[in-house]
Amino acid sequence: MRSSGTGDDSCLSSKSRLGGEGDVTATHRLWERDDFGVFVASPIAYEGRVYLLRNKGRVVCLDPKTGKPYWEEALPRAADAYYASPVIAGGILYAAREDGMVFAARVGERFELLGENDMGEQILASPVPVDGRLLIRGARHLFCVKD
């Protein structure tokens, strides 16, 4: 699967079958959508679903076989974008916005925003779950967060 965008509303998501030689665009593309995609963040595959975090905080949950969305929700909006890729650990999506806000949302059948934390500095790196903790690299500090 690939997903790309320009940072505005222009975007593309698609899934292709692996294998083949040469240009396999016509024979290997399983689906393609031009109504959602991501600018920088990587998509996440988790428990049979794919999650996309769009540039301004929209979260799309889709069926990787068909490309059809199960749901689309939004994290709290701000002028800053999401450059870090989100992660999912224990059914919770963690997303760090450039201005230092980190959001936690339960995902799966539905979306439930659990909380937000202001880390007080710019965040461009993706959070990393390790042994029940979340490592977050800010512009000046490395944070370790535990329940």
Q: Would you kindly state where each structural domain of the chain is located, as residue ranges?
A: 2-146
What is the pLDDT, as a whole number, of residue 147?
76
12 has pLDDT over 50? no
- pLDDT above 90 as % of the chain: 59
Mean pLDDT of 46-75: 91
Q: Are 9 and 18 in contact (CB under 8 A)?
A: no
Helix (H, G, I), strand (E, B) or coil at 78: coil
As a whole number of angstroms, the distance between CA 32 and CA 44 comes to 17
Mean pLDDT of 127-144: 97
Q: Can you name the CATH fold of 2-146? A: Lipocalin (2.40.128)
Type and span of the H or E element at 26: helix 25-28
25/98: higher pLDDT: 98
As to burial, measured by CB atoms within 10 angstroms (0-12 exposed, 13-18 middle, 19+ buried), residue 103 is buried
Mean pLDDT of 63-89: 91
